[in-house]
Structure 1
């Protein structure tokens, strides 16, 4: 059960989170979004990704893998906004929990929740029209060998799109920036620049169609942290939001933000070289 009483009314919360840059996200119940978040506002980040990924051009009922879907908010967004047939894949959230949320949202026939590990995806080559990952790919996708094992799941010409917390430029040296040291987490070393990700994906055998920085994304991140620190029903998320929010406020966009990446599977990304070696090789 939630362990705090909301500080603001539902109407005031909705007004606070209504954002001109994210009109589709504005139509979702703000209290539902707050209750089911697991980091930065995933709906805002997915809405920023959508035009670069070409989600509006997908065929009806296109098959989309939502990798690292968390509590399946992004999966609901994909089904509702883009008429997609979604596989909602996550390691940490019980499929039964996501199935309940999905059914309550009215998409039980369109979204399949699964528990999977990103390095052991039980899908055939060419299973998906698109792959989406919001605020998750940085935890497993920095491996030089990873991207080909994922893009083989796309149909030829299919696209993968991710949004990741990022650094404006690559880290200099082995110490974090001085102004971020009070809040530094070891996980943040997996934040990289748009140029770094572009090189990584080019080497991974996709045609990179977008690798860009979200202008003023730190302001969105800070607003969201402030809201979660006050309104989340979970103490863990309130504590983390306060800590991250302090770092983002101190940084003021000098270092921390978000990068959007879109890549298209090319013909030469198909075949044995896109398979991770096994002990039998």
Structure 2
């Protein structure tokens, strides 16, 4: 077994273990999107043939994983990665009949209302979804009764001031978009457009995040500040927030 595969062995994600660690690391744009996709799918019902929007898919690893593992048809939508690049990965993964790369900005999505059975965002929703009005836009692309799910970096709770003192040397201004599961529950449910059916802090998510960063750092040969931040925090503040909801009828 390849050394990277050993470093990224994680019993919490048995489906992800079928995929090459090299493939995951080469497509990385943040914390492991394949693990996050499997964690989200554990609480978001997906059935073969469903139409799924994957918003902020990056290099489409999450889209490919969802298509292969759950038999869904995915519109892999991103602004930072061109669709021809993602199409190459999709073809290599032999899911070109199930994954459609789309180039679009989160506020200008080229889809019909009520088109999708489900919409997900993995490691990306906090970049645009903290806006009070965004869910009203995003949810309209999902059928009434359809599902919406996100998983991304988050906080254990909301804090009066940020950053906590022990994280001050590592803090970046854009971390202010990281929120707790209960913050996201209130943020969504106050619109009346969805009913949140699951909101939690992913169990041991900070360990997954640290394991991933340590493997990436070892592969690059450069110790990373993010891994150091996660080791110092030890799960007291940082982790992953996971939320699912149903669009109301």
Superposed pair shares fold, TM > 0.5? yes
Match for 2:40 among 42, 49, 53? Answer: 49
Could you tell me how far apart the structure 2 residues matched to 1:51 and 1:221 are? 18
Unaligned stretches of 5+ residues in structure 2: none
Matched length: 248
1:274 corresponds to: none
Shift of 1:110: 1.4
Task: Write out aligned runs for 1:150-229 (5 A).
Answer: 150-173=138-161, 175-204=162-191, 205-229=193-217
Give 1:10-89 correspondences, 5 Å limit: 11-55=2-46, 58=47, 60-89=48-77
Distance 1:194 1:86 in 2: 26
1:51, distance to aligned residue in structure 2 (A): 2.1
Deviation string for 1:110-155 (max 9, x for gaps)? Answer: 1110111101111111110110110000010000000011111011
Task: Verify: 1:131 aligned to 2:113, yes or no.
Answer: no
Deviation at 1:15, TM superposition (A): 1.8
Partner of 1:116: 104
In structure 2, how many angstroms separate the alpha carbons of the residues matched to 1:248 and 1:90? 27
Moved over 4 A (4+): none
Tell me, yes or no, if structure 1 residue 262 matches structure 2 residue 244: yes
Give, in angstroms, the shift of residue 226 of structure 1: 0.6
Deviation at 1:217, TM superposition (A): 1.2
User: Once superposed, what is the RMSD of the aligned Cα atoms?
Assistant: 1.3
Once residues 203 and 117 of structure 1 are traced to their aligned partners in structure 2, the CA distance between those partners, rounded to angstroms, is 25
CA-CA distance at 1:37 after TM superposition: 1.1
Distance 1:136 1:210 in 2: 18
Q: Distance in 1 between matches of 2:200 and 2:164?
A: 22
The structure with more radius of gyration:
1
Using the size of structure 1 for normalisation, the TM-score is 0.86
What residue in structure 2 maps to residue 5 of structure 1? none
Take 1:114 and 1:243, find their aligned partners in 2: how far apart are those partners? 33
Give the secondary structure class of the aligned counterpart of 2:136. helix
Deviation at 1:12, TM superposition (A): 2.1
Given the two structures, how large is their TM-score scaled by the length of structure 2? 0.96
CA–CA separation in structure 1 for the residues paired with 2:96 and 2:42: 26
